[in-house]
Structure 1
Amino acid sequence: MKANQHLHQIINGTLVLSVAGLLAKVLGAIYRVPFQNLVGDTGYYAYQQIYPFYGIEVTLALTGLPVFISRLVAEQDNRQDQLAVARLCRRLLCVAGLLIFAVLTLGSQLISKMMGDTHLQAVILGLAPIFLLMPWLAVGRGVQQGMLNMYPTAISQVGEQVVRVTWIIGVAVIATTQRWNSYRMASWAMVSALVAGLVAFMILIYTNLPLWKNQQRHPSPLTKRQLTRRLLTEGVLLCWLASITVILQLVDSFTVKRALVVAGGVSEAAAHASKGVFDRGQPLLQLGLVIATSLSATLLPSLSEKWHQGDRQTFVHTYRVLFHVCIMMATMAAFGMMILMPLINTFLFKNSRGSGALMVLMLAIPLAALVSAFCAVLQSIHSLKPMAGGLFAGLIVKCCINYPLTRKWGIDGAAWGTVLSLLVTMIIVWQALPQLLRRHRHGGKFVGKLLTITAFMTVLAGGSASLMKCYFGGGRLQAALVLLVAITIGAASAGWLVIRWHLLDDEELIALPGGKRLVTMMTKDNKENDSNETR
């Protein structure tokens, strides 16, 4: 009875956290569309240049470090040890947060100079204070997650994102009406991180009162040296994995604009606008990865449990669900957006500038989804070195090729830099998987069906869009109508073929949004057909 209650608590908590994470990610992607529409490509550039630093802070405070801390807390035998470890972790993270704050504040001029735009210094200074709050947010969330209470993390995450998005849109409206320059607007937009962080802290403080109180100290079962070592290995690796696309964006911030100017024939203003156009792909990339990465995080505990229990059959089956659903959703989202990109670009961002680069960037969706899935498996079997090697190799590739590719091909080259770096990472982490997974006998058949279905979907959606565009024209309102029809046709055809060709089994279908209802309907239809045949 107690074991069932514990299992129910885990499943319920995972569901709450997944829904909150999904909602926060969708909000975090969608707000950029009205924001870009209000401030234009140049204003969007000023904001996006520094955004990767915020994305890294989010990883530290919301995903990577809370997961690491929750593991530390779950390992302890009693409440006093849990709180003692959490307090020690908070002290170490306060030092780290202070160091990052100092680097960003004192080095803001140098960082902006390295990015090729000294006006970005004010934007960096607007963001830096959030790192002082990071330790309190990460530990507050991690402690509760370690005790299987996911609600504080979920509520604080959604509350933080709502406040931040509201602040940013408000700043964009004021900046537009008051005619602020792009850098003033971006620096005030970055202040949203601190305001939203304080709101999240207020939410968390009520659920972690024993942690904040100055009660009698209990010695930590882990020494400072032990915890530091684990923080610099497990903690850093978890954060790196969670922020892989953000770190690649950070490389873009240091290379793309400078490469565009150095390449010749491009003015500073034109380079700013081009980088802003390239950054249009980030919310699209984020939305494309929402389902795939959420599923990886959800199935990780199950993979880990089955591996350590020696239940290889269930482990392989869980991996198959993860692999099939991740790659199917990511591949269809990527190729669907690629074929419709000029229309998506026009509808969301007013014009179709940079559609070629954005199409290339969408190839990163299935690659990043596979990296996420494969790394979830490696985490579950505690094979961390190959994962670290793959992530590091991908980053080195991006750093080495991004600047020369951008000089030669502009923002198209930067998009290829992201794709190639993720490809390298994906190959390395795939090679590190256990052989029983790499030899998975259903993989080839599944991939063949998936590519065929995706091709049909792409042809139908792209063909219908081309025909309608010839009839309706190429304006923004017309693009919205054409997209609505094309997406409906593409999704309906893909869904019908997935069911008709049995691409996914019932358990894999249930992992999809609305999948449970779909399986129930299919089972009912099959029973009715069997009954009719019997008659």
Structure 2
Amino acid sequence: MLKKTATHKQLTQGAALLAISSLLVKILSAVYRVPFQNLVGDEGFYVYQQVYPIYGIAMTLALSGLPVFISKLVAEQDSDKKKREIVTLIFPLYFWLSLVAFLLTFLGKKVIANWMGDPELAPIIGIVAIVFLLTPFLTSYRGYYQGQLLLTPTAYSQVVEQVMRVGIILVAAYIFTKRSLSIYQMGTLAMSGSFIGGLGALIILKKQAGETIWGSSLFSHTLDWQGTRIYWRRFIVEGGLICGYSALLVLFQLVDSFVIKNQLVAQGLTNLDAKVIKGAYDRGQPLIQVGMVIGVAYSTAFMPKLTKLRVENKQVLYQKTVGIFIRTMFVIASAASIGLMMLLPYINVSLFGDNAEEEALIVLMGTVFLMSLILVFQTIYQSCNSYRSPLIGLLVGMLVKVLTSHHLTYYFGTIGASVSSLLGLLSCLIWLVYKSPNWLKKTMINIRFIWQLGYALGMMVVSLGIYRLLVSVFFAQTCHRGTMLFLALFGVMVGGFTFVTVILLQKMFTVREWLSIPLGKKILKIGKKVRLK
């Protein structure tokens, strides 16, 4: 039988476990791509990454999008019976939508593959489409549990799902190295891990529940539009907004899957050369994920705090907390983005074996900064139960990406693709800032803060510039990958030390602000030891 609502102790333990598991999943999702690319090369990486955005959309719905929306509906109910009834009532809604997504993707796999400029991708797209069939069931269990504040099942299920999926992907890559599979057969086997991992997660959730949440009411409620129509608007606006921002970068990747390879061929490149270049360009995705780990975790941690202050009507404290949130994220994201730009040659060689697509990847690292700030504003809007402006901002960002990607990629290659992504994110961010209330604009960032941050970032760039100059003098351009990894990690220390030292010297943050930053307490202790007050 399903468990009742969590106790305070269970909630605390579950929240900690979910935070750790979510961080582990994000890191694993980024890290596995490195050995995978090393085993299959840029062409094999291209085959995987071309289709990955479809899986990414399905998993966003099943993991971080719809479950959040459903958990909110469940949490609004005042009895266990009503909590069950709300899941039963709306289950047909996203079941049939998921079925339509599966049918469109599976039956249209050849058309989609042709639009991507590579008909041989069709079988892989067909495998990925099956994941949509798991989405409504994973969503229901996770949403119900989270609405009951039982977070442990979600934590366990997402770890199991990711470990199984990554394991199958790496096995497929290893078999490919033994010349037992073609590059497309490898991609098909690798993507089968998506369905198998999702099935494993579903088994874990079902075992925890002991019974189905939706009962046998799928077909009996399917035609109950009178009962479900009141949730349509909330489903489209609230659910769509949560899913849209969670999958924004994945949607941008999907646009690139349709554009980059085709436009490189249109420039005159061969199919093979275009595939290899697209595969090398896709190295940027795991780097962006790693760069945003702290930012995503920080946004997740601030969301319940902001919501609680809003509900308790503590407006002054709410506005101060928002100001801290924005300033600290601005600092963290800008430092992460510029640090990745400066150290990218060492990171690229150490992880992937060469420095292909350096310029395009450097430009793409600006995504870390823009997307982190977008998450900040989306979190603030969500804490205020404001949906219209962020929904329009999401559509504006997607529209700019779609409209600019084709021409910029054709004329400037992968650098143009990176610029189109930055333009899309920048458009979304500008809209979110423009439509924010006046108090928020005043709370955000002043000129003095901008100058201080600019100086700190400038000093970090100077220190890393000198570091790169010294490296070029004392180390050969073609040094070992292990050496490059050491140089990248040491560069992080050099840039980070310079940046934090300048911030401490300028007294950019109050003690309270430092305490809200990851590792901020330790940094303050170090600052006091060297008498930086």
Q: TM-score, normalised by structure 1?
A: 0.92
SS in 2 for 1:261: helix
Q: CA deviation at 1:519?
A: 4.3
- 1:56 alignment counterpart: 57
Deviates further, 81-90 or 418-427: 81-90
- 1:365 alignment counterpart: 368
* 8 A contact 2:140–2:213 mirrored in 1: no
Structure 2: any 5+ residue segments left out of the alignment?
1-5
* 8 A contact 1:340–1:462 mirrored in 2: no
Task: Kindly indicate whether residue 43 of structure 2 is the aligned counterpart of residue 38 of structure 1.
Answer: no
* Closer, same or farther: CA 413–186 of 1 in aligned 2, 3 Å: same
Task: Kindly indicate whether residue 447 of structure 2 is the aligned counterpart of residue 479 of structure 1.
Answer: no
* 8 A contact 2:266–2:410 mirrored in 1: yes
CA distance, structure 2, for counterparts of residue 441 and residue 516 of structure 1: 23
Question: How big is each residue's C-alpha offset from its partner over 1:117-168, in whole Å with a ceiling of 9 and x where there is no partner?
Answer: 1111011012111111111111111111111111111111122111111111
- Give 1:92's aligned amino acid: L
* 8 A contact 2:327–2:445 mirrored in 1: no
* 8 A contact 1:465–1:483 mirrored in 2: no
- 2:133 alignment counterpart: 132
- 1:252 alignment counterpart: 256
Task: Kindly indicate whether residue 145 of structure 2 is the aligned counterpart of residue 141 of structure 1.
Answer: no
CA distance, structure 2, for counterparts of residue 519 and residue 162 of structure 1: 37
* 8 A contact 1:50–1:124 mirrored in 2: yes
- 2:499 alignment counterpart: 494
Instruction: Kindly report which structure 2 residues correspond to 1:105-504, keeping only aligned pairs within 5 A, or say none.
Output: 105-212=106-213, 214=215, 223-264=227-268, 266-440=269-443, 442-474=445-477, 475=479, 476-504=481-509
* 8 A contact 1:55–1:246 mirrored in 2: yes
Deviates further, 298-307 or 94-103: 298-307
Question: How big is each residue's C-alpha offset from its partner over 1:446-468, in whole Å with a ceiling of 9 and x where there is no partner?
Answer: 23222211121122123213312
Q: CA deviation at 1:179?
A: 4.7
Q: What is the aligned length? A: 523
* 8 A contact 1:263–1:407 mirrored in 2: yes
- 1:75 alignment counterpart: 76
CA distance, structure 2, for counterparts of residue 132 and residue 457 of structure 1: 48
Q: CA deviation at 1:478?
A: 2.9
Deviates further, 140-149 or 496-505: 496-505
CA distance, structure 1, for counterparts of residue 454 and residue 137 of structure 2: 46
CA distance, structure 1, for counterparts of residue 16 and residue 238 of structure 2: 24
Deviates further, 114-123 or 227-236: 227-236
CA distance, structure 1, for counterparts of residue 263 and residue 157 of structure 2: 40
Q: How big is the alpha-carbon RMSD for the aligned residues of Structure 1 and Structure 2? A: 2.4
* Closer, same or farther: CA 390–235 of 1 in aligned 2, 3 Å: same
* Closer, same or farther: CA 354–123 of 1 in aligned 2, 3 Å: same
Deviates further, 207-216 or 494-503: 207-216
Question: How big is each residue's C-alpha offset from its partner over 1:466-524, in whole Å with a ceiling of 9 and x where there is no partner?
Answer: 31232121222332232232222112222222333233333333333333444466678
* 8 A contact 1:85–1:221 mirrored in 2: no
- Give 1:486's aligned amino acid: G
Deviates further, 70-79 or 121-130: 121-130
* 8 A contact 2:50–2:257 mirrored in 1: yes
Q: CA deviation at 1:222?
A: 9.1
- 2:3 alignment counterpart: none
Q: CA deviation at 1:11?
A: 5.6
* Closer, same or farther: CA 339–213 of 1 in aligned 2, 3 Å: closer
Q: CA deviation at 1:21?
A: 1.3
Question: How big is each residue's C-alpha offset from its partner over 1:339-367, in whole Å with a ceiling of 9 and x where there is no partner?
Answer: 11112111111111100000000111111
Task: Kindly indicate whether residue 504 of structure 2 is the aligned counterpart of residue 512 of structure 1.
Answer: no
SS in 1 for 2:178: helix
SS in 2 for 1:178: coil
- 1:533 alignment counterpart: none
Deviates further, 70-79 or 313-322: 313-322
* 8 A contact 2:327–2:444 mirrored in 1: no
SS in 2 for 1:503: coil
CA distance, structure 2, for counterparts of residue 12 and residue 432 of structure 1: 38
Question: How big is each residue's C-alpha offset from its partner over 1:81-103, in whole Å with a ceiling of 9 and x where there is no partner?
Answer: 10111122322222112111111
* Closer, same or farther: CA 293–350 of 1 in aligned 2, 3 Å: same
* 8 A contact 1:293–1:373 mirrored in 2: no
State, as a whole percentage, how many aligned pairs show the same letter: 34
Deviates further, 284-293 or 514-523: 514-523
CA distance, structure 1, for counterparts of residue 334 and residue 407 of structure 2: 28
SS in 1 for 2:393: helix
* Closer, same or farther: CA 221–71 of 1 in aligned 2, 3 Å: farther
Question: How big is each residue's C-alpha offset from its partner over 1:174-197, in whole Å with a ceiling of 9 and x where there is no partner?
Answer: 111125222111111110111111
CA distance, structure 2, for counterparts of residue 300 and residue 276 of structure 1: 36
* 8 A contact 1:167–1:189 mirrored in 2: yes
Deviates further, 486-495 or 165-174: 486-495
CA distance, structure 2, for counterparts of residue 341 and residue 67 of structure 1: 35
Question: How big is each residue's C-alpha offset from its partner over 1:297-330, in whole Å with a ceiling of 9 and x where there is no partner?
Answer: 2212222232343322111122122212222111
SS in 2 for 1:340: helix
* 8 A contact 1:462–1:486 mirrored in 2: no
CA distance, structure 2, for counterparts of residue 445 and residue 222 of structure 1: 56
- Give 1:425's aligned amino acid: C
* Closer, same or farther: CA 20–252 of 1 in aligned 2, 3 Å: same
CA distance, structure 2, for counterparts of residue 54 and residue 214 of structure 1: 27
CA distance, structure 2, for counterparts of residue 174 and residue 455 of structure 1: 47
SS in 2 for 1:129: helix
Question: How big is each residue's C-alpha offset from its partner over 1:243-272, in whole Å with a ceiling of 9 and x where there is no partner?
Answer: 1111011110111111111122x1111110
Structure 1: any 5+ residue segments left out of the alignment?
531-535
Q: CA deviation at 1:236?
A: 1.2
- Give 1:156's aligned amino acid: S
Deviates further, 44-53 or 378-387: 378-387
- Give 1:478's aligned amino acid: T
SS in 2 for 1:353: coil
* Closer, same or farther: CA 323–76 of 1 in aligned 2, 3 Å: same
Deviates further, 499-508 or 239-248: 499-508
* 8 A contact 2:344–2:358 mirrored in 1: yes
